[in-house]
């Protein structure tokens, strides 16, 4: 796992765009598909990074990105994707633990949030996130708002 600067925006986009199309778009209304996929373009990822979003990637030894996590405003998990070939191997958990640890080194945090895709809810539940409410539909974008409250030491 390593922190990903703007030089990774193209590689991040190349990983997450087809995964978004495959796993997220089918659970949303067709009307948001183009907008959602456009939000994964390299220039958009770069904009996110330049505005303070923090990304970490998992790379194979040949430099191929196989997983990515992006955090917005320190405590909102914005992107979490793992290539099909590397799913089921604990990589999403490793990415999450890396991002969470990174945040905790900079700020005091009591909770994290995520707007889970419908078919990703079980992953977030396994991390300890809980539903805030039920499934919501915001202009065709269907997701599940979730929160992880950290135990105070």
Domain chopping of the chain, boundaries: 2-149
Tell me the whole-structure pTM to 2 decimals.
0.93
Q: Are 109 and 141 in contact (CB under 8 A)?
A: no
Among 104, 65, 60, 101, CA closest to 81: 65
> Any bridge partners for residue 69, and if so which?
56, 80
- The per-residue pLDDT for 153 is 55
Whether the CB-CB separation of 146 and 37 falls below 8 Å is answered with no
**Percent of residues, the chain, with pLDDT higher than 90:** 90
Which helix (H) or strand (E) is 96 found in, with range?
A: helix 91-106
More confident residue, 39 or 152: 39
At residue 132, the 3 state secondary structure works out as: coil
pLDDT exceeds 90 at position 112: yes
Q: Evaluate if residue 109 carries a pLDDT over 60.
A: yes
pLDDT in tens, 64-101: 999 999 999 999 999 999 999 999 999 999 999 999 99
Evaluate whether the domain defined by 2-149 bears CATH number 3.30.470.10: no
């Amino acid at each position: 796992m390593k922190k990903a600067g703007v030089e990774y925006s193209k590689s991040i986009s190349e990983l997450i765009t087809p995964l978004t199309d495959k796993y997220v778009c089918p659970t949303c209304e067709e009307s948001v598909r183009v907008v959602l996929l456009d939000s994964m373009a390299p220039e958009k990822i770069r904009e996110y990074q330049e505005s303070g979003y923090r990304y970490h990637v998992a790379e194979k030894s040949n430099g191929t990105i196989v997983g990515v996590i992006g955090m917005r405003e320190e405590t909102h998990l914005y992107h979490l994707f793992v290539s099909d070939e590397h799913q089921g191997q604990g990589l999403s958990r490793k990415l999450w633990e890396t991002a969470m640890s990174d945040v905790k080194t900079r700020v005091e945090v009591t909770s994290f949030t995520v707007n889970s895709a419908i078919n990703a809810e079980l992953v977030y539940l396994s991390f300890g996130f809980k539903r805030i409410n039920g499934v919501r539909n915001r202009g065709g974008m269907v997701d599940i708002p979730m929160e992880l409250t950290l135990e105070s030491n």
